[in-house]
Structure 1
Amino acid sequence: MVTNPSVSAQFAPEIHWPTRSNRWSRVQQELITGLAGWLPKKPGILLRRLLYPWLFARMGKAVSVEWGSDYRGPQQIEIGNNVFLGRTICLDADVRGGQIQINDDTYILDNVRMFCHLEYGKIIVRENVGIDRGVDIKAHGGRVEIGSGSYIGPYVCLAGPGHIKVGENCMIAAHSGIYANNHIFVDPMTPIKDQGTTNEGIVIEDDCWLGTGVKVLDGVTIGRGSVIGAGAVVTKDIPPYSVAVGIPAMVISQRNK
């Protein structure tokens, strides 16, 4: 799939004039976060556990929310049971049709950022997921889904607008990048920034392990049970149960043989 040629227009911020109900929601949000958002340690966690169900679209039981975080469009954010939200994180679903859903038994550590960014962007985090510190997830109007039991290591970046699906029980190590977009550069007479982008999407199937610093480019599917060595750049599909290394990533063995 190829986008419109204007990249700047694609990623331009939206402007929506607030309705009366939206203005009241923002006032309510400011009151709640102003009262409870910066109170540290256990008293703050207990107060936020009491007040934040009024803030989010849904907030389950035994949720621990640390201090100093920013929740934008909280009426479009759903939090399951037994979820831990670390310090100074940002969850931003404040666009038309945006949604962030964090399911049961999941932890999200400090300085994680999740942005829907454009209309109808969705970020879905399934059950029993671990998201380590500094992870950056930007749907850019697409859909990012992280499957049950998966772990996303420190400072990993996942970016749309192509859809990204990480399967169940996957491990993605620190400083990896999953980029479901790519610039078109076929015409040497036209500036690259004016040639548009692709957004074919990325699928990482169940039980995959991506080593430190792996980069996965747009349009790639990594088959079930595959291992990608540290520093590899994945530019084409990887068959199931493969071990792949290098730039570009090449299959060197099969785990099921």
Structure 2
Amino acid sequence: MNSPSFVSRVQKYWKEYLITGMFGGISTPIGQLFRNSVYRFILSKMGKSVCILPNVRLIGTSHIAIGDRVKLQPSAYLHTHGNPIHLGNHVVLDQGVNIRAGGGEMGVYTDGISIGENTYISAYAFIAGPGSVRIGRDCLIASHCSIYASNHIFADRNTPIHAQGLTMKGVTIEDDCWLGSGVRVLDGVTIGRGSVIGAGAVVTKSIPPFSIAVGVPAKVIGTRGSDDRSAALEKALALQN
């Protein structure tokens, strides 16, 4: 019980608890200045010119790496559960974005959640492990999107669903993708580079690069930049978003 690893975990917890508790809620410019100074002592990495606004909640800070010029809006919530969360340079997490790497509490350790450079995650989006999630660079994730890198196994009718375990295949969203408002992305999916997913779509299967997909479940209705991209296709996408 008094092993170095246990003592180290307790020390990290209290350091994180005290620093985020003291400085996390200060709303004045001085508060941001304090956060930029002292959060460097608890985060795995903190780049230059980071902007962490008031009431951002960070749990498991020793597993959180933040690049240069990242902006975390009020009420953003990041919980590592022992797995890494990495935010690349110029990432923006809007108000109420909720990111939970998951897994560590179950003894499951993965590559965690990684968000590439210049990606914008809009208000109240939800991203959850414990499978790995990789979002590429230059992506736009609209408000209220949900990305789930796990799914319940339910094949056995004689065993409660909660006791049958989880799939943890992971989710990949490649560079330069746009997910419209309220899109749901399920475990095991890869959304190919440059794709556009219409608002409210539920993505249950992988999407090829440069696709335009809409609906429940999401179906590809066209390809970006192709000759057959008609005005009707543009109109359909506009109605979705």
**Same fold by TM-score greater than 0.5:** yes
Structure 1 residue 123 corresponds to structure 2 residue 85 = yes
Aligned to 1:82: 49
Residues 196-236 of structure 1, C-alpha deviation per residue, up to 9 Å, x if partnerless?
11000000000000000000000000000000000000000
Aligned to 2:132: 163
1:39 and 1:184, CA in 2 relative to 1: closer, same or farther beyond 3 A? closer
Question: How far apart, in 2, do the equivalents of 1:245 and 1:24 lie?
Answer: 45
Q: Secondary structure at the match of 2:99?
A: strand
Question: How far apart, in 2, do the equivalents of 1:89 and 1:80 lie?
Answer: 17
Residues 135-168 of structure 1, C-alpha deviation per residue, up to 9 Å, x if partnerless?
0001114310000010001000000011000001
CA RMSD of aligned residues (A): 2.4
Question: How far apart, in 2, do the equivalents of 1:185 and 1:25 lie?
Answer: 36
Aligned to 2:231: none
Structure 1 residue 109 corresponds to structure 2 residue 73 = yes
Task: Tell me, yes or no, if the aligned pair for 1:93 and 1:115 is still in contact at 8 Å.
Answer: yes
Counterpart of 2:175 (choices 206, 218, 234) is 206
Q: Secondary structure at the match of 2:113?
A: strand
Structure 1 residue 56 corresponds to structure 2 residue 40 = yes
Amino acid at match of 2:98: D
Task: Tell me, yes or no, if the aligned pair for 1:110 and 1:132 is still in contact at 8 Å.
Answer: yes
Aligned counterparts, 1:89-108, within 5 A: 89-93=56-60, 99-108=63-72
Amino acid at match of 1:112: A
Residues 96-133 of structure 1, C-alpha deviation per residue, up to 9 Å, x if partnerless?
xx51001001101000111111x3x0000000111100
Counterpart of 2:97 (choices 110, 135, 143) is 135
Task: Tell me, yes or no, if the aligned pair for 1:77 and 1:93 is still in contact at 8 Å.
Answer: no
TM-score (norm 2): 0.81
Amino acid at match of 2:93: I
Task: Tell me, yes or no, if the aligned pair for 1:82 and 1:105 is still in contact at 8 Å.
Answer: yes
Aligned to 2:31: 44
Percentage of identical aligned residues: 44
Shift of 1:25: 7.9
